[in-house]
Amino acid sequence: MIELTAPAKLTWFLEITGRREDGYHELRSEMVTLELADLLRVDPEGDYFRVEGAGEDVPRDDTNLVARALKLVNRSAGVTLVKRIPSGGGLGGGSADAGAILRWAGGVSATRALELGGDVPFCQLGGRALVEGVGERLTPLDFVAREVTLMMPEFAVNTRRCYEVYDELVTEGHQFDGRNHLERAATLAEPRLATTLAWLRATYGSQITVAGSGSTMFLEGHLSNDEHEWDVTGPEGTVRFRQTTTTPA
């Protein structure tokens, strides 16, 4: 049995630089991996897929990213996924799991990894990188140790809808600046995110940022010296706070 770590991905900043004819958006972003991670127990002689932990939303059939990653590298294995990265929060949980499988199998090119999703090339690499194109152009950056507080609401943001709203804003002539070009679209696509973000900023500081298309938000630094993880009741339900750190490749 082999144990693999699949670190969560955090989008430190995100710029949308254009839209291709096929509808995909070109981006320029800095991504980092976190101490928060899924665990995969891989049995090279097995042929099964099991999920433990908070993985209710993980598909159990061949559409899940672990199965697709194994197929991409023409491998079979029994995999038990211990799910710790919340689903639907923009932290790349499924992509992280696929990246771990690709590393275990010896790795593939970023272009091939992209077949599994835009975050998978970076999740295969890990650490800290400038990510461009639709996720396939990676420039590794020197590791910077950062403390991070994640703020994870109970709801998710539909990524496709977020990009649709972004395109609507572009058509209306909206100008984008700041750390995350998708933040405005994400809060319009999911009004509960707008309410929660405003409350968090008023309570904990104006530097709180939406991670990619959300729904996770984050603040550089730790808020507590006593607690690692805790829940706070916000205006739209429970928000889980999780203190973590960045990790090298």
User: Quick one: CA dihedral 92, 93, 94, 97, positive or negative?
Assistant: positive
95, 9 contact by CB (below 8 A)? yes
Residue 166 backbone phi and psi in degrees, to 5: -55, -45
Residues 6+ apart with CB under 8 A from 175: none
Select which of 9, 38, 83, 97 is catalytic.
9
Task: Let me know if 9 is a catalytic residue.
Answer: yes
Two tokens at 179?
């750390």
- CA pair distance 3, 81, nearest whole angstrom: 10
- CA distance between the termini of the chain: 23
Task: Let me know if 167 is a catalytic residue.
Answer: no
CA atoms lying within 13 Å on the CB side of residue 201: 12
Select which of 38, 83, 97, 119 is catalytic.
119
- CA pair distance 120, 56, nearest whole angstrom: 21
Check whether the bond before 109 is cis (ω within 30° of 0): no
AA identity, residue 7 = P
145, 109 contact by CB (below 8 A)? no
- CA pair distance 182, 133, nearest whole angstrom: 16
Catalytic (active-site) positions: 9, 119
